């Protein structure tokens, strides 16, 4: 029989702009563009797009929409695209490491924050990210954060609509932990309005972290997150904030 502890919280972490960042602007296009070209024959309007907060499937769909490629066509080839994307990611990240400049780095306080909640009995961490699942894990492995995420989460290959992801993550986590949780026991942490919107759609709490490239705190405030953080560097202050949610 499934039971619940009302004080328990699951932290659903975004990756890009929240926990990590690239050393290069427009970083994803270095591997996303050749993957699109290899699988779909072109990258469409990717070069002109701003994609913060989108899932990878949404990026593919919007980039290729004017080429006549629809969601069902993308779904048919998602496995092929996933495989090619990982080839291209390995290529660019390995080349960057060989030049002595890692492609990704952990944002200030990210490691310390994940360590703190990992040791706290009230919290468990899971991923809620627009990245395809293997891409998410590769990024975290490259910056040494992957071991903090032992629960199932939700990823960019689950849906083109980020609003679908919290419910998917919740269902998987409940099955994994064999407990029943209310939506309000989940806290989505992310750096874009889409992170806030997906939390609201599910009924989760929303913590906006103003560390992304495209949105400062004043940009995030009109979307009404429960909390806005300027960053994760002050572990004690972030924990106090989470303890109130």
Check residue 16 and report its DSSP letter: B
User: How does the average pLDDT of the chain come out, rounded?
Assistant: 94
Residue 17's pLDDT is 94
Residue 14 and residue 189 in contact, taking contact as beta carbons nearer than 8 Å: yes
- Find residue 127's DSSP bridge partners: 13
Give the C-alpha separation, 43 to 35, whole Å: 8
pLDDT band at 3 (very low <50, low <70, confident <90, very high): very low
Give the C-alpha separation, 215 to 209, whole Å: 9
Residue 202's pLDDT is 98
Ranking 22-31, 49-58, 185-194 by mean pLDDT, the lowest is 22-31
Domains and CATH numbers, the chain: 9-22+105-243 (3.40.50.1000), 29-98 (1.10.150)
- 27: pLDDT strictly greater than 90: no
Residues 6+ apart with CB under 8 A from 208: 190, 191, 195, 196, 217, 220, 223, 225, 227, 228, 229
Neighbours of 23 (CB within 10 A): 11
List Cα–Cα distances, 140 to 102, 182, 215, in angstroms.
Answer: 13, 28, 22
The string of pLDDT tens digits covering residues 199-230 is 999 999 999 999 988 899 999 999 999 999 99
Residue 2's pLDDT is 45
The string of pLDDT tens digits covering residues 41-57 is 999 999 999 888 899 99
* Interval 115-128 mean pLDDT: 97
Type and span of the H or E element at 20: strand 20-22
Give the C-alpha separation, 165 to 171, whole Å: 10
């Amino acid at each position: 029989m499934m039971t619940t502890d009302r004080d328990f919280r699951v932290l659903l972490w975004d990756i890009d702009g929240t926990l990590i960042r690239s050393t290069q602007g427009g970083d994803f296009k270095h591997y996303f563009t050749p993957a699109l070209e290899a699988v779909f024959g072109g990258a469409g309007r990717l070069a002109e797009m701003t994609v913060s907060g989108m899932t990878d499937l949404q990026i593919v769909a919007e980039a290729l929409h004017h080429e006549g490629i629809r969601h069902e066509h993308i779904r048919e080839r998602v496995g092929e695209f996933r495989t090619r994307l990982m080839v291209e990611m390995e290529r660019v990240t390995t080349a960057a490491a060989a030049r002595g400049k890692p492609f990704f780095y952990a944002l200030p306080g990210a490691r310390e924050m994940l360590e703190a909640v990992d040791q706290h009995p009230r919290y468990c961490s899971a991923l809620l990210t627009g990245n395809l699942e293997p891409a998410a894990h590769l990024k975290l492995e490259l910056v040494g954060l992957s071991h903090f995420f032992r629960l199932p989460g939700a990823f960019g290959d689950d849906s083109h609509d980020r609003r679908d992801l919290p419910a998917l993550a919740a269902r998987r986590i409940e099955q994994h932990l064999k407990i029943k949780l209310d939506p309000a026991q989940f806290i989505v942490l992310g750096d874009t309005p889409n992170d806030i919107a997906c939390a609201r759609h599910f009924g989760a709490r929303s913590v906006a972290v103003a560390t992304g490239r495209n949105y400062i705190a004043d940009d995030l405030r009109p979307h009404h997150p429960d909390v806005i953080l300027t960053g994760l560097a002050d572990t004690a202050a972030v924990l106090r904030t989470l303890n109130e949610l």
